[in-house]
Amino acid sequence: AGPPARLVRGRVSAVKTDISPALIVIDVGSDDRVEIGYPLSVYRGNVFVGKVIVERVEATASACRLEFAAEGQSIQPGDEVTTRLP
């Protein structure tokens, strides 16, 4: 369904879990060519943690909605995000 998303790599800066679905803020934005609708995989080291979808983009940060978290995992500040497998 369309061309693949550009390679984007960043980190989770904040997680707001008191709303549903959880809001995840990442440290990459339009300056890094992030676009609304990008799916991003979340990793902690080599462990897959979950998937988020970009919903709002600013110059240096983006807000994402939690698509799903891997069983037994929760997304935390410092986790890595990427459009491609590490």
- Is 10 in contact with 28 (CB distance < 8 Å)? yes
Per-residue model confidence (pLDDT) at position 74: 92
Q: Residue 67 pLDDT > 80, yes or no?
A: yes
Q: Residue 5 pLDDT > 70, yes or no?
A: no
Q: What are phi and psi of 32, to 5 degrees?
A: -100, 10
Q: Identify which has the larger pLDDT, 2 or 48.
A: 48
Per-residue model confidence (pLDDT) at position 17: 85
Per-residue pLDDT band for 20 (boundaries 50, 70, 90) equals confident
Q: Which residues contact 14 (CB under 8 A, 6 or more apart)?
A: 24, 25, 77
Distances (CA, A) of 1 to 5, 7, 40, 81, 83: 11, 17, 16, 22, 15
Does pTM surpass 0.85? yes
